[in-house]
């Protein structure tokens, strides 16, 4: 019998989302691509931005912009207030205990590299182990390979089964006295699989193992609670949650962040500098060297307000319905096979079409105004494990509609006729 609880699908939430009203908030959606209305189904790569975010960034640069924390003039004080308010907004959004546990970074990739170099590298010795999974994005593989090369530690990998779920019993068996860190994704960017993160963290902590969660795909789709999850580190990006690119978050437990050394040196992260020795600023500034992405943080704050204004439970319910409709609709296409059939999935559908390369499918779809992603999705080991070289991926957001899924299915049928 498995030690792990059954994974359940996301609930369907009523009342339905006012999608047409929401679409009016996203100006980029109101355009023609190759003579067809845009159907943007590449949200797993990056989501589009509502007017509220665009206007917040515009207002920052038009009225308030100056460098933060370093000036006593009015513009600097206004920028600093907005920047630090954004930090507190993120804290509330993910229910972190302290504002200083929120570190502004460029994105998920930088957050993971920060943990690899500042937390893991000083800790690791020859023979120690870092555990990851087959379903990781390259950003949660390569930083750990680098730190293993630097320290003599070993990388251990949790397999996935044929439907795209983690082998949780194998995961449990890999946790041992040599394990120093478990790094895994909350939601697979290829399969949409939602991993039972809370239960995994509990088991890892029983072995004294710290846990980093890659939340890049989770933060647009799930309500997050760091205090309930109990993870040691959680990383995500603004651009996947309707915010700007170039801004992201590393959440870390305060006691860990206080203990580990800075990731980068420079301005802002120091307390005092001399040629003999430098001392470092308190959290969170210790990890925020140089001028930050001020407008990006303000835009991310506006994105959180926008999400909260709609309600994550309603967004999740709408996307769950889209996932169900897309899965049923695409399954009816002869020769099409959906990759990833986990019991718990987010709104991502990857598929292959017999005899046709995914890149060719994406090209034909683009000619019809339908934006999807094709390739290995920065997850080459997972694609190889599933016996593929690439997939086509449609990923849905709050502004997508069943009509766009119908257009996707029609576009795939057209690709079959043109390319078969």
> What amino acid positions are annotated as catalytic residues?
378
| CA proximity to 135, closest of 163, 105, 106 | 163
Cα separation of 104 and 283, whole Å?
A: 11
Cα separation of 267 and 264, whole Å?
A: 10
| Both structure tokens of 367 | 């000619």
Check: CB of residue 194 under 8 Å from CB of residue 345.
yes
Check: CB of residue 178 under 8 Å from CB of residue 172.
no
| CA proximity to 143, closest of 119, 112, 122, 173 | 112
Check: CB of residue 238 under 8 Å from CB of residue 107.
yes
Distance of CA 264 to the CA centre of its chain: 23
Cα separation of 98 and 138, whole Å?
A: 30
């Amino acid at each position: 019998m498995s030690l792990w609880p059954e994974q359940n699908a996301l609930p369907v939430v009523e009342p339905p989302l006012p999608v047409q009203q929401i679409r009016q908030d996203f100006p980029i959606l109101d355009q023609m691509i190759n003579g067809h209305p845009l159907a943007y189904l590449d949200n797993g790569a990056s989501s589009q931005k509502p007017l509220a975010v665009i206007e917040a960034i515009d207002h920052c640069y038009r009225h308030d912009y100056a460098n933060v924390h370093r000036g006593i003039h009015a513009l600097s004080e206004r920028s600093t207030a907005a920047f630090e308010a954004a930090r507190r907004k993120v804290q509330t959004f993910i229910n972190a205990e302290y504002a200083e546990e929120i570190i502004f970074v460029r994105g998920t990739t930088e957050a993971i590299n920060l943990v690899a170099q500042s937390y893991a590298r000083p800790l690791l010795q020859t023979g120690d182990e870092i555990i990851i999974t087959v379903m990781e994005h390259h950003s949660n593989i390569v930083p750990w390979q680098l730190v293993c090369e630097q320290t003599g530690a070993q990388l251990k990998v949790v397999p996935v089964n044929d439907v795209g779920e983690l082998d949780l019993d194998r995961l449990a068996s890999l946790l041992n006295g040599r394990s120093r860190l478990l790094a895994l994704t909350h939601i697979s960017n290829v399969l949409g699989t939602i991993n039972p993160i809370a239960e995994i963290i509990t088991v890892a902590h029983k072995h004294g193992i710290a846990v980093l969660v890659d939340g890049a795909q989770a933060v647009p789709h799930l309500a997050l609670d760091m205090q309930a999850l109990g993870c040691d580190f959680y990383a995500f990006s603004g651009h996947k949650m309707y915010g700007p690119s170039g801004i992201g978050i590393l959440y870390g437990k305060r006691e860990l962040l206080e203990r580990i050394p800075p990731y980068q040196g420079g301005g802002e992260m120091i307390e005092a500098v001399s040629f003999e020795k430098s001392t470092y600023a308190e959290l969170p500034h210790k990890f925020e060297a140089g001028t930050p992405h001020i407008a990006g943080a303000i835009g991310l704050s506006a994105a959180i307000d926008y999400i909260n204004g709609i309600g994550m439970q309603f967004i999740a319910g709408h996307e769950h319905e889209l996932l169900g409709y897309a899965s049923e609709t695409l399954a009816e296409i002869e020769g099409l096979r959906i990759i990833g059939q986990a019991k718990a999935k987010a709104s991502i559908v990857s598929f292959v079409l017999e005899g046709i390369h995914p890149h060719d499918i994406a090209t034909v779809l683009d000619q019809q105004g339908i934006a999807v992603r094709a390739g290995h999705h920065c997850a080459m080991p997972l694609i190889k494990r599933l016996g593929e070289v690439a997939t086509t991926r449609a990923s849905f957001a709050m502004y997508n509609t069943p009509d766009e899924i119908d257009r996707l299915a029609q576009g795939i049928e057209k690709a079959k006729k043109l390319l078969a």
